[in-house]
Amino acid sequence: MTGQGLQDFLRDYEAAHPDDVYTVERPVSLDQDITAVVWELAERGQHPLLRFPNVEGSDREVVTNLFASRLRIERMLGAQPGELHDRYQWLAAEAMEMAETDDGPITDRVDAGDRVDLRSLPLLTHFATDLGPYITSGIVVAEEAETGRGNLSYHRSVVASPTSLGTSLHSRGDLWRLLQDAAARGRPLPVAMVIGAHPLFMLAASARVAFGVDEREIAGGLMGAPLEVVRTPKHGLRVPAAAEVVLEGEIDPAADEDEGPFGEFSGYSSDRSTRNRIDVCTVMQRNGAVWVDVVGGNSHEHLNLGRVPREAEMIAKLKDRFGSVAAVHYPHSGTHFHCYIAVDQRRPGEARQALLGLLGWDPYLKTVVAVDADVDVTRDEEVLWALATHFQPDRDMIVIDGLPGSALDPSADKLGTTSRLALDATRGEGFDAQRIEISSSARSIGREIADDRAGQH
């Protein structure tokens, strides 16, 4: 093995950045306590990697908040500050074929048949409004029957029985397509759920790629080495050899299962679900496995995990097609539904072209705001200021309706059909107001005085 496990990452990261890891020694319960810690720290502007070695009702450590910090994701990727998206795109483009091996840590313990009991896992309840304890970090691995090309995707899952999970394929993406192909053949779809792996494997599972592109090869690109995999005992699906836990089973296209409500990225509890069932036949675990959790809702981790690959893709598309685009930002306040773009407009209408391009490319987006390049798109208050002073609703607003969006948007219909809004808050032609300024010498004095005050507190 070449250090591709989560525990390798935890050891090395804590040694290099001990101030960014917080180990909670006091006992906590599986029922909402861990979510509460994440929320309270976030309200203080703190997003450390969290380790919980003393969880009541659990026989193992729980790790969460891995992706809550963009700085931490930069470090995972070896990116310089401010180069997160460029680094992600460059590494992802260096996809590598998997390296298959006969065994690895994940084969330390393999339970099948009567020894499978999903209730023995340390399942967390994240919100008081949830149906019950959920697996939130589960990455479902499926493969095309003819080619063996794989697909990775995240799906919330609740334990329905000792050997089955209720899950939602709400994205109706590639896994949904594979399930429909299986249904057409009159067969169940073999799947494996990976719970806990190297963070770069987890990040690759969020990649937005065309059908047939195998995210396991993208994981190799992000790691800089082929992903080492073993085959699951029954179906021979290739899973990370250094994973913590793997559940192997099948999705029966004809079976359904109650699932939801669950706290989703919108900040609302959602019971919109495809009501699929995974029947588990094998549980694989490494010795001393830790349990990886992703706190749901509109937590920084939940949003970053899905957003960073999406941002990287959209930024690359925009800058390649529209040379005037200077910056792109998906604000935390907008969950996955808002985006701000800064445009150095050289001819009238360029900002609107970019707005419409982005709304067409990203199916989650509902509202996109274009501002001038001197507006900091990472600050909500600056974008709102640009809207307040540059935007006229009768001429600067474009509404498009009847488009597919996210089924988890509580304001959309049950299939996720939505309308989209483009707001051009650039100054445009004929704008003649002068922005207020403070001289550089005065700003220097102001900084000195502010620094003096900060040193007194």
Instruction: Report mean pLDDT in 10-residue bins for the chain, 457 residues.
Output: 86 96 95 94 95 94 96 95 92 95 95 94 92 93 91 93 91 85 93 97 91 94 96 97 98 89 79 88 96 90 88 89 90 88 90 92 90 94 95 93 79 81 91 90 94 84
* Same-domain check for residues 231 and 343: no
- pLDDT score at 1: 46
* Same-domain check for residues 225 and 338: no
Q: ω into residue 122 within 30 of 0, thus cis?
A: no
Yes or no: say if 13 and 21 are a contact pair by the CB < 8 Å rule: yes
- pLDDT score at 171: 62
* Same-domain check for residues 251 and 367: no
Is residue 76 in some structural domain? no
Supply the pTM of this predicted model.
0.89
Nearest CA among 292, 299, 302 for reference residue 58:
292
* Same-domain check for residues 289 and 326: no
Domain boundary among 278, 295, 312: 295
Residue 26 backbone phi and psi in degrees, to 5: -70, 150
Is residue 280 in some structural domain? yes
* Same-domain check for residues 290 and 329: no
Is residue 24 in some structural domain? no
Structure tokens at 208: 């937005």
* Same-domain check for residues 237 and 337: no
* Same-domain check for residues 266 and 130: yes
Bridge partners of residue 109, in order along the sequence: 285
What Å distances lie between residue 32 and 42, 127, 133, CA to CA? 15, 6, 9
Secondary structure E strands in 20-108: 21-23, 49-52, 62-64, 99-100
What's the whole-number average pLDDT of the chain?
A: 92
CATH number assigned to the domain comprising residue 229: 2.30.110.10
Tens-digit pLDDT profile for residues 167-205:
998 766 899 999 999 999 999 999 999 999 999 999 999
Is residue 448 in some structural domain? no
* Same-domain check for residues 209 and 335: no
Is residue 439 in some structural domain? no
Domain count along the chain: 2
* Same-domain check for residues 151 and 246: yes
β pairing state of 157-161 and 164-167: antiparallel
- pLDDT score at 292: 97
Nearest CA among 321, 328, 360, 354 for reference residue 342:
328
Bridge partners of residue 404, in order along the sequence: 417
Radius of gyration of the chain, Cα coordinates, nearest whole angstrom: 23
Let me know if 239 is exposed, middle or buried by CB neighbors in 10 A (0-12, 13-18, 19+): buried
Domain boundary among 248, 276, 295: 295
Is residue 93 in some structural domain? yes
- Domain hosting residue 417, numbered range: 322-424
What Å distances lie between residue 57 and 31, 50, 65, 96, CA to CA? 10, 18, 20, 40
CATH number assigned to the domain comprising residue 390: 3.40.1670.10
Yes or no: say if 252 and 78 are a contact pair by the CB < 8 Å rule: no
* Same-domain check for residues 229 and 343: no
* Same-domain check for residues 133 and 231: yes
Nearest CA among 147, 142, 225 for reference residue 178:
142
Is residue 238 in some structural domain? yes
* Same-domain check for residues 121 and 254: yes
